[in-house]
Amino acid sequence: MRQMDYDRLFVLVQSYFQDHLQRVRGASPHTIRAYGHAVRLFFLFLAERLRRPISKLGLDDIQVGHVLAFLDHLETTRHNAASSRNCRLIALRGLVEHLLRHDLSRAEAYHRILALSGKRTRSRPVTYLEPELARAVLARPDSATPSGAMHRALLLFLYNTGARVGEALAVKREDLQLSRPYQVHLLGKGRKERFCPLWSETVRALRQICLPEQGPQALIFRNSHGAPLTRDGVAYIVAKYATEAAQQYPALRRCRVTPHVLRHSCAVALLQAGVDVTVIRDYLGHASISTTSRYISTNLQMRRDVLERFWDKAGLRSHGTDRWRPTPKLLEFLSSL
């Protein structure tokens, strides 16, 4: 293979991320980072599979067989879930579509890759905290200390707004309106903008960490060294206070509390408060109402309430009857089975 073929692969990969994703699609930094990680894993795997340095990989090496082997490698060697496998396939398909637009001579090979479909995954119930447990976590930081004040403001902000981690970390001083009406301007997936109202308690916590000398472009959430918080930093803070709260509330030990669990908890609390699902969709920045509807099927209390209302409407509920209690003979019988 000629050096020109190696160089062309690099040029097309570079133009995909810098020109197509950023300038044409306007993809968020998080999407670009996730796609870049997936493509990087693929090229590392391909170089090892072909026993060649990455600098010697060319367009002829982008074959459906290698992609299938890579997907199998993700599940068997890296132990990725099917959902992670599917996300990385989507990233590769995006790159291959870009290659197809600029390299028609290998169209057949590219079309075979684009024909690959994602693996079916089992839909898992959404993990969330009931309001009592969420309040227990929010109450843990000591706002009398600088770091505790920052952590409390962060936890309140995540639960109040249901913001994604990337959205929260991108909030600048100019995005906050800490006078009435209290609100924050968020930039979500696909660069969709939305405004979220803020509780008075959240505003008080934010005022405590917003210093007068901060300019409008200053990021709000920072670590103890004054540097911007990272995703890992936010995950650590949430897990830390959830672990502390679990000492008093054992129910917290049954789930892994992450920043996204606070987002789910916000959505469920809004549903329980009777907020319309279309309003919650806009509040959370969901692209589709079907995404928001997951929370309805997850919340057991809402299901019970629906069933109770159905029974009342249908006239099936019995009134004035004594509650059934097992007799000792019945218990003896069951114990003997």
Which residue out of 49, 93, 260, 294 is catalytically annotated?
A: 260
Residues ≥6 apart with Cβ < 8 Å to 260: 164, 165
Instruction: For residue range 172-228, list pLDDT tens digits in order.
Output: 999 999 999 999 999 988 778 999 999 999 999 999 999 888 899 999 999 999 999
The pLDDT of residue 3: 54
Q: Is 102 a catalytic residue?
A: no
The pLDDT of residue 216: 94
The CA distances from residue 239 to 65, 133, 235, in Å, are: 41, 13, 6
Give me the residues of the chain with pLDDT under 50, please: 1
Q: Is 283 a catalytic residue?
A: no
CATH topology of domain 131-304: hpI Integrase; Chain A (1.10.443)
Q: Are 168 and 221 in contact (CB under 8 A)?
A: yes
Please state whether the predicted TM-score (pTM) of the whole model is above 0.75.
no
The pLDDT of residue 275: 85
Where along the chain do its domains lie? 3-114, 131-304
The pLDDT of residue 192: 87
The pLDDT of residue 277: 84
Name the H helices within 51-106.
64-76, 82-102
Backbone angles phi, psi at 116, to 5 degrees: -70, 135
Amino acid in position 6? Y
Fold match, 3-114 / 131-304? no
Q: Is 20 a catalytic residue?
A: no
If 0-12 CB within 10 Å is exposed, 13-18 middle and 19+ buried, where does residue 108 land?
A: exposed
The pLDDT of residue 2: 54
The pLDDT of residue 327: 64
The pLDDT of residue 262: 97
Which residue out of 263, 264, 281, 283 is catalytically annotated?
A: 263
The pLDDT of residue 286: 86
Q: Is 189 a catalytic residue?
A: yes
Which residue out of 152, 164, 264, 281 is catalytically annotated?
A: 164
Which residue out of 49, 189, 194, 222 is catalytically annotated?
A: 189
The pLDDT of residue 235: 97
Q: Is 79 a catalytic residue?
A: no
CATH number for the domain formed by residue range(s) 3-114:
1.10.150
Q: Is 112 a catalytic residue?
A: no
The pLDDT of residue 140: 97
